[in-house]
Homo-oligomer: A and B are copies of this chain.
Amino acid sequence: MVLNLKDIEQMELRYRATLINSLAGFRQAVLIGTKSVDGHSNLSIFNSLIHLGANPALYGIVSRPDTVRKDTLKNILETRQYTLNFVQKSDYEKAHQTSAKYEANVSEFEKAGFTEEYLNGYKAPFLKEAVVKIGMKLEDTIDIKINGTILIIGSIQSIQLNENILGDDGFVALEKENVLISSGLDGYYSTEFVGRLTYAKPETWPTIIS
């Protein structure tokens, strides 16, 4: 079937939001941990993590300023510290529950049944149950004027993971931890390995990296 611009524009709002969001495909599910200046912990699920570069190591997150995730955004801007945490697929209900509209002084760690953890001198909380924990420092924000979203750019300060998922060439085999991924606002998935391929060159066909 083909949906053209007119079809898309005439869709009921919630239907279109669900369609356009899920159509963007599968994304890493990331739980962002922050702490407010007055000491309240916050944990919220995002699926807009972007790799921007490795040298320096920079990741982006897209956020709307007017959503349930505004506490996370406020804490990042005020404290410049946040943590990125990946959980296993078995924790998908807990991860989803962090998207509920709790008051700013309520800890989503507690409400979702997760545990706060403090590591590496960081003031922002990590998620103890996470299998990958990344400490971030805010570097810049960019206003995306066309629809009022914000790109939050941070540099990686620390990485914590099980060393058996880190390969000799630096590749992180997240599938070995059954890491949770998502699609749209409420679809949860895990992954199945297909293969890693050698660097593509015009004159040859890629082969599997064993």
Contacts and interface: CB of A to CB of B under 8 A. Distances in A.
B192 A188 contact: no
Contact of A4 (B4, B106, B157, B206): B157
Most buried by B among A14, A57, A195: A57
Contact of A189 (B58, B192, B197): B192
Given A51-B24, A89-B194, A174-B183, A140 B134 contact: no
Given A26-B181, A142-B142, A144-B153, A96 B19 contact: no
Interface in A23-39: 23-28, 30
Interface of A: 1-5, 8, 11, 13-28, 30, 48-60, 62, 64, 86, 89, 92-93, 96-102, 106, 111, 119-120, 132, 134, 139-140, 142, 144-147, 149, 151, 153, 156-163, 166, 169-175, 179-181, 183-184, 186-202, 205-206, 209
